Amino acid sequence: IEESVADDIARFEESFSGINSRFRLINRIGEGTFSTVYKAEDLEYNQYRNNWDIDEQEKRKWSSPGHRRRNSRRPHYVAIKKIYVTSSPMRIFNELELLYDLRGSDSVCPLITAFRHLDQVVAVLPYFQHRDFREYYRDMKVPEMRLYFRSLFTALRHVHSKKILHRDIKPTNFLYNPAQSRGVLVDFGLAERLGTEWQQCACTLGAEERSYRVSHSVYAQTQHRPSCYPKNDNRSSRRANRAGTRGFRAPEVLLKCTQQNTSIDMWSAGVILLTLLSRRFPFFHSQDDIDALLEITTIVGRKKMKETSLLHGQVFETNIPTYSDNGHSFEKIILWCTSRSSDKNSGVKKELEDDEKEAVEFLYELLECDPAKRITAKKALEHPFLTKDYE
């Protein structure tokens, strides 16, 4: 492993006294806005096996037959999530509590245990073998997409049935193993219970939100804002939970709707499907929420965005001349992105493959601007796109 990673591991071991006695840190596997995640071997797995803070049934699910054999010498791997000390205690508690509530599903990565040493909290999860999305998004075939989304929506059906919104669905938070056609949902750092008042959960807003504000103001100071932004806008701003990752946020999140529900996760899943079909990652590259809204407008058109804004009591106006009233179909966008546009000169009209057409039908259900009409995880699992090949 790299020297800098080795140094980081050494520093972590030093600052978190005693962690060495139970875990052998192997590598750093994730570094995000809220945490650093390490792969480690649980040295006392056999000894602690029966003391895990999760119930028997859970343990069986997550222990492979090899691990269950009494004298197994096979190493047992875990993911140690070191939550940054800048996260508020409420936020950390929220994540651990929701993970606890979600136990019992093999599509949500369970919490094995959590420790605190001074101001540092770590969560210990079973290590889940997966592949990096960037390695396969360019060549995943439609039948594999069916399996990917079956697994993702199985996870979301479980999460949503507990009246929990994940709020940050994106490829790095859904660890997928193509060889097993199975994935697990991780990262409940931004998740919340349905109906949580935003004012009350302002404290759970994470680092991204904060860094977003900072970078946004720096951006405003150093760059000329696009001319479509009102110059002296002194209307009071509306407050709503906007936590999540730019590019995966649903229109109602961008429009600061105060009554958001589980359908925001379905939109984000739709963005993943669009990414896979178009072979473009990230598909959206917005600087900020306005930019993100404009990117969606490019696709759905001005008319649809006006209607959508009205649903949330907002008025959408733009003087950018390039937006069409009715936008573009996903078929066309996918053909463009994959360099299969129809050739006007030769008159050759290109079309999507049959199974891509089925995927696009499903995509329309997910990237539906009206959250009330957007498909739910439960219904998605009954959709022909996902039931095919299972009958």
Q: Name the one residue in this structure whose structure tokens are 């080795």.
A: 6
Residue closest to ligand ADP, measured at CB: 30
- The number of residues in the chain equals 391
User: Cβ of residue 206: shortest distance to ligand ADP, in angstroms?
Assistant: 8
Residue 370: name the closest of 316, 311, 284 by CA: 311
User: Cβ of residue 390: shortest distance to Mg ion, in angstroms?
Assistant: 30
Give the residue with the Cβ less far from ligand ADP, 164 or 296. 164
- The verdict on 189 binding ligand ADP (CB under 6 A) reads yes
User: Cβ of residue 145: shortest distance to Mg ion, in angstroms?
Assistant: 22
Q: Which of 87, 173, 261, 376 binds Mg ion (CB under 5 A)?
A: 173
Stretch of 10-18, 24-32, 38-46, 257-265 lying at the interface with Mg ion (CB under 5 A)? 24-32
Q: Name the one residue in this structure whose structure tokens are 């404009």.
A: 294
Residue 8 annotated among the catalytic residues of the structure: no
Q: Which of 15, 32, 101, 209 binds ligand ADP (CB under 6 A)?
A: 32
Copy the structure tokens of residue 201.
């959960």
Helices (H), the chain: 3-15, 19-22, 45-48, 56-62, 65-68, 89-101, 133-136, 142-161, 207-222, 251-254, 263-278, 289-300, 302-311, 330-337, 354-366, 377-380, 384-387
Q: Which of 19, 125, 299, 380 binds ligand ADP (CB under 6 A)?
A: 125
User: By CB under 6 A, what part of segment 69-88 binds ligand ADP?
Assistant: 79, 81
Stretch of 33-41, 68-76, 246-254, 330-338 lying at the interface with ligand ADP (CB under 6 A)? 33-41
- Burial of 189 from C-beta contacts in 10 A (0-12 / 13-18 / 19+): buried
Q: What is the 3-state secondary structure (H, E, C) of 292-338?
A: HHHHHHHHHCHHHHHHHHHHCCCCCCCCCCCCCCCCCCHHHHHHHHC
- The verdict on 95 binding Mg ion (CB under 5 A) reads no
List the catalytic residue out of 8, 42, 168, 265: 168
Q: Which of 30, 104, 282, 301 binds ligand ADP (CB under 6 A)?
A: 30
Which residues here bind ligand ADP, judged by CB under 6 A? 29-30, 32-35, 37, 79, 81, 109, 125-128, 172-173, 175, 186-187, 189
Instruction: Cite the active site residues.
Output: 168
